[in-house]
Copies of this chain bind each other. A is one copy, B any other.
Amino acid sequence: MVTIGDVAREAGVSRSTASYALSGKRSISEPVRLRVAEVAKSLQYTPNAGARSLATSQTKVIGLLAQFLEDEFAPAMLQYILGVSNTARELGYDVLLVTEPDGTAALRRISDSRMIDGIVLLNVAEDDARLEVLRAAQQPGALVGLPKDTRGVDVFDLDFEEAGREMVEHLHRLGHRELILASQPEHVVERGGAYVWRLQNAAAAAAAARGITLHTAFAPASQPEVGTALHELLDTYPDATALLVNNEAAAAALPSVLNARGISSPRDLSVLGRYSDEFARTFSLPFSSIESAPDRLGSMAVRQLVRRIEGEIGPGDPFVTRFVAPEIVDRGSTAPPR
């Protein structure tokens, strides 16, 4: 392999001069700088990442911890990953993707071995075991998802409470008085998936405040079970005029459920989901939804992380918890009840 020594020799300068000429970290005479740059290019010189990280304690790699759990809908995860990956690259970082089930062990491994400069955690739970490891780590961390204890980390999430309120208010405004909310599986709640009850509680409170009825139910995250569950829900509450869906798998299954029942939306039932526009297109979902903005959240997390890595924000600066405001993307599936 071609090293900086090769470049230096070929350019007739010392290795340090070659290094400085390439990095621009001290003033170098124009002819020397040009000559070094030229030689580096012609020799196709690329710094050895291991050597550089050893010398600088910087790897230019971000660790991305994603979990693919049974009770979460995998296609929805992909968009967060791409949001992180694309923004990282834009800022000059590569991504080490870790999908192993034991997140704490993985985190310890990549952190202790100094493979990465910073860490992004996906699917963060209320009481996430990885957080303890992350706080003890040398590298800064950014989360997508709100844990109970946000100390020492930057947090980004959709404002699920506002989302719950907005969903209810939007339908109340249209005249609906009996709503159903299909959430994620109860198992997600037990595991600490706070976004489930954050949306649910806020929706319930909003409904109560307006004196309207909200039936809430957990629904599976896998096909075809979720379809059956939706049928049962609609059977159980025949007078409900609107369906709120905080469950990507349920949203994906809904078109065929409505079809099977001969129900058309919004004529017979108003529907309002919570998923991204990309997701809507992938699954041809004709329902209006609260945009969950996975790419934006992933991007925000990386940007903040890189600011910490590069010292633009110091360890003294306060950690942030930022919520993306929910916005309804209107696909025409809500209307006044008949």
Q: Which residues of A contact B (CB under 8 A)?
A: 1, 44, 46-54, 59, 61, 64, 68, 73-75, 77-78, 81-82, 85-86, 89, 94-100, 108-110, 112-115, 138, 222-224, 227, 252-253, 255-256, 259, 281-284
Contact = CB atoms under 8 A, between A and B. Distances in A.
A207 B78 CA distance: 38
Given A112-B46, A256-B256, A95 B97 contact: yes
Number of copies: 2
Contacts of A49: 50, 53, 113-115
Contact of A46 (B81, B113, B253, B259): B113
Contact of A59 (B50, B52, B108): B50
B113 A99 contact: no
A281 B223 contact: yes
Nearest to A112: B46
B97 A85 contact: yes
A48 B256 contact: no
Given A75-B282, A284-B256, A115 B98 contact: no
A298 B100 CA distance: 16
Most chain B CB within a 10 A radius of its CB, from A1, A74, A94, A98: A94
Nearest to A57: B50
Nearest to A281: B223
A82 B68 contact: yes
**Which of A59, A95, A108 has most chain B Cβ within 10 Å?**
A95
Contacts of A48: 54, 113-114
14 contacts: A1-B114, A44-B112, A47-B113, A49-B114, A50-B50, A50-B59, A61-B115, A74-B282, A85-B98, A94-B96, A255-B256, A256-B256, A256-B284, A283-B283
